[in-house]
Structure 1
Amino acid sequence: MTHEHSNLMNTKEQEILDQATEKLALLTGVTIKTLRAGVAQPDKESDAEIEICSAKNKVHFAVEIKNELRNKKLLPVQRQTGAANLLVAQYIPKPLKQELKSINYNYLDAAGNCFIQTPELFIYINDQQVTETRVPAEGKLWKTAGLKFLFAILTQPELLNYPYRQIAEEADIALGNVGGLLGELKKEGYVLDGGQNKGLFIGHKGRLINRWAEAYRATLRPKILAGNFRFIDKDQVHHWDQLDTNQFKWGGENAGALLTNFLHPEKFTIYTREPKTVLMKKLRLVPDLNGNIEILEQFWKDKEPGIHTPTVPALLAYAELITSFDSRNQETAERIKMEYID
C-alpha cells in the first residue's frame, strides 16, 4: 500500500486512515493508495482521497475521517466530486453501522468492518471485533480543558478578543492553557483573523459545534457524571417541570422540552454545582444504577451569575440530544440549533 503524506492532515487522522486501510487490505487483498491527505480549510474539501484497487477495478474515493461517530445527524455531507464517498472512523457503534448500510452510506472502521458499494466494487465486512477505543486528538484541544475552552468561546465568541486571563476565568481553566489551545484552534482552521476592524472570529462554526458535541459526549461528560438516581415518589416524573430549580439546571431531554415544547422527557438530566447529597435531599432522590435521573457537575460559569435560568445553555442541550440514538431527541436538537444557535 502506498501513502503520500501531507503535513496538512492532523497526525491522528492520518493514523486512523492508515490503520483502517491497512486492515482492509489485509482482510481482502485489495491494494489501497493514498492519493491526497489533508486540506487547508475544513469545509472546502474531503480530508483525503484514496484509490482502492481490486483484481478487476480501481475506484477513487473522497474520504472523511472521524475519531468516532455516534449519530447519523453528524454524518459528513456526501460530496459531488466525481469520486465515491467514504467515511473512515476509528469507532462506529453497531446500531449506527446498520443505519449507514440501510442508506447505502459507505463506511470503514479501524478494525476493517465496512460497507463499501459502488458500481465497480462491493465489500461488506461485519465480523471483525472492535473495541470502543478513541484516538486522542493531538494536543489538548479535544481533551477536558480544551472542551471547556471551546464551550466558552462557542457560547461567548467575543472572548476570542479578550485578554487570556479573562478567557481562562470564563472557561474555568488554567491561564497557561489558553495560548496553546488558541494556537491549536487557529491551526485547525476554526479561528480566523478579520484584521483590526473585526478581530478574531470563529470559522466553520457548524462543523466545530458538531465536533465539540461528539467530543463532549465521549470525553468530558463521563468525567462529570456523579451517578444515576430515581425519584422516591414515582409520580414526580409527571411533575418534574414544577420543581424548584434554584440549585440546579435541566439538561438533555428536559432542556429540550423546556426550550422547544416538543419533547416529553423519559430521561432526566440535572447539572449542578451543589454536592449530590444536597439535591438528593431536596428532590427526594435515591441512588439507582438503572435510574432515569442523571446528576452531573456544572463545568461552566453562568454568563450572568445573578440571573438564574432553569436550563443549561442551548449549545449543551443540543450536544446531548444530537449525540443520542433517539430520533425524536435528534429532531429536538435540530430545533434548538435553528432557534437558539444558528
Structure 2
Amino acid sequence: MDWSADARARLQELGFRVEVLGTAGGDLGDPQRHQMDVLVRLTTGSGAARTYGVEIKRRMTVELATAVHFPTTPPPLLFTTHLSEPIAERLRARGIDYVDAAGNAHLAWDDVLIDVRGRRKPTTLAGRASSRGAGAFGRAGLQVLFILLSWPETATFPYRSLAALSGVSLGTVKTVIEELTGAGYLYERGNERRLARGAEPLDRWSEAYSISLDVALALGEFTASDLSWWRDAEAELVSLGVQVGGEAGASLIDPHLRPASLTLYATQLPVQLIGRHRLARAENDGNVHVRTRFWKEPFPKRQPWIVPSTLIYADLLASGDPRQREHGDRIRGGDDRLKRIDRT
C-alpha cells in the first residue's frame, strides 16, 4: 500500500488542501518507520489551516490506542489502515486526530470539525503479513525486552547473561534477539548490538504488558488504611528486595501525581512487610498490589528501590485509569530513561 498517496487522497476527499512541508528523512511509504516526522499543512476551503506531525502505523488495537505515545508538538495526526469504533473512541478521548485508509476521520481545531465514522475496512490482497517480531512480544519475550529497554547497554551482553537477568531460557533469548533484529528493533554489526527505533518497541511492549504479563505477575492484593508508610521505608524495602512501581513509583518522577495505590515488586510474597504494615488481604482489587519481580538488576550497585521507569510507565497504562494514563504521558515526555529510548 502506498501510504503517502492514500493519506493524501483521504484528506483531499475530506476537502483539505494538503501541503507536505517536509520530513526528517526517509520515504513516507517506508513500513519500517514508526515516527515519520512528516509535517503536513491542511487548509480548508474557508482558509482555516493547521500543521500536523503525521504518525503512520500499519496496525492499531484498543490497547495500542491507549499505550502508544505521540509527541504533542506539532499536534499529531494518525494515519492507519482501519480504525474500528472502539479504537477510534479511545483516540478521540485522548484528543488525537486521525484518518484511516477507509475514510474514517476525526480532525478538530478551532471551528473545524471533521467526524466520519462507520466506514468498513478496505479489502486487501491475500497474503501473509509480516509478524514484525511478534514472538518477541509473548510473555517470555516481554521479559527479555524489558531488560533491553530498561538498560539499553545490556544489548551487548551475551545471551547467557540476558537469560539470567530476564528469567527465561537461553533458547528464548536467542529467538527474541533474532526476531527483534529481523523487525529492525535491534541493530547488529559484528560484535556490536544496540537498540534501534526505540519508541515503537516501547509502545508495543507497554501494550503487550497490559495484555499478557501484568495479570500473570500477580502475587496478592491487599488493603492498607494508610499508604504513606512506603515513602520512609527505602532501607526496609531494599533489605527485603522489594521495589516500588505503579503510580506510587510514578509520584517520585511526577510530583503532580498523588498516588491512590501502591504496587510492590518482590521475588516472593513479603510476609514480613505485610505484617509490619498491617496490610489486609483483599478479596478483589485492593489498594496495594504485590507482583512478581521476575528480573535481576544488571548493575547491582545501582540498585534502586524504585522499578525502572519503563515498568512504571507500563503500569500506568495497564491500570485503564485515564488519570494514570495522563501521568504516563507526562512521565514519558520528561523521564530521562524514557526520553533516551524514544531518541534511539
In the alignment, structure 1 residue 190 sits paired with structure 2 residue 185? yes
Q: Which residue of 2 aligns with 1:142?
A: 137
Tell me the percent identity. 22
Q: Which residue of 1 aligns with 2:64?
A: 69
Shift in CA distance, 187/73, structure 1 to aligned 2, threshold 3 Å: closer
Shift in CA distance, 170/90, structure 1 to aligned 2, threshold 3 Å: farther
**Separation (CA, whole Å) in 2 of partners of 1:89 and 1:300:** 36
SS in 2 for 1:208: helix
Q: Which residue of 2 aligns with 1:251?
A: 245
Deviates more, 1:217-226 or 1:161-170: 161-170
**Separation (CA, whole Å) in 2 of partners of 1:278 and 1:138:** 41
**Separation (CA, whole Å) in 1 of partners of 2:286 and 2:188:** 47
Q: Is there any run of 5+ residues in structure 2 with no aligned partner, and where?
A: 3-28, 38-54, 120-130
* RMSD of aligned Cα (Å): 4.1
Deviation at 1:143?
0.7
SS in 1 for 2:148: helix
Q: One-letter code of the match for 1:158?
A: E
Q: Which residue of 2 aligns with 1:317?
A: 312
In the alignment, structure 1 residue 265 sits paired with structure 2 residue 259? yes
How big is each residue's C-alpha offset from its partner over 1:290-322, in whole Å with a ceiling of 9 and x where there is no partner?
321111110110233466522111221122235
How big is each residue's C-alpha offset from its partner over 1:10-65, in whole Å with a ceiling of 9 and x where there is no partner?
xxxxxxxxxxxxxxxxxxxxxxxxxxxx845233769xxxxxxxxxxxxxx96531
In the alignment, structure 1 residue 175 sits paired with structure 2 residue 164? no
Shift in CA distance, 63/291, structure 1 to aligned 2, threshold 3 Å: closer
SS in 1 for 2:136: coil
SS in 2 for 1:296: strand
1:149–1:171: 8 Å Cα contact kept in structure 2?
A: yes
**Separation (CA, whole Å) in 2 of partners of 1:90 and 1:282:** 49
Equivalent residues in 2 for 1:83-232 (5 A)? 85-86=79-80, 88=82, 92=86, 96-99=90-93, 103-106=96-99, 115-116=104-105, 123-125=116-118, 140-195=135-190, 199-231=192-224
SS in 1 for 2:291: strand
How big is each residue's C-alpha offset from its partner over 1:60-116, in whole Å with a ceiling of 9 and x where there is no partner?
x96531343252762599999xx983464689568625416x6543469xxx9x953
Number of aligned positions between the proteins:
274
Q: One-letter code of the match for 1:298?
A: R
1:191–1:203: 8 Å Cα contact kept in structure 2?
A: yes
**Separation (CA, whole Å) in 1 of partners of 2:155 and 2:163:** 11
**Separation (CA, whole Å) in 1 of partners of 2:316 and 2:230:** 19
SS in 1 for 2:60: strand
What TM-score, normalized to structure 1?
0.65
**Separation (CA, whole Å) in 1 of partners of 2:208 and 2:267:** 22
How big is each residue's C-alpha offset from its partner over 1:244-298, in whole Å with a ceiling of 9 and x where there is no partner?
3232111011111223434221121111113254442233111221321111110
2:64–2:204: 8 Å Cα contact kept in structure 1?
A: no
**Separation (CA, whole Å) in 1 of partners of 2:303 and 2:157:** 25
Q: One-letter code of the match for 1:161?
A: T
1:64–1:87: 8 Å Cα contact kept in structure 2?
A: yes
1:318–1:336: 8 Å Cα contact kept in structure 2?
A: no
In the alignment, structure 1 residue 296 sits paired with structure 2 residue 291? yes
Q: Is there any run of 5+ residues in structure 1 with no aligned partner, and where?
A: 6-37, 47-60, 127-135
In the alignment, structure 1 residue 241 sits paired with structure 2 residue 231? yes
In the alignment, structure 1 residue 287 sits paired with structure 2 residue 276? no
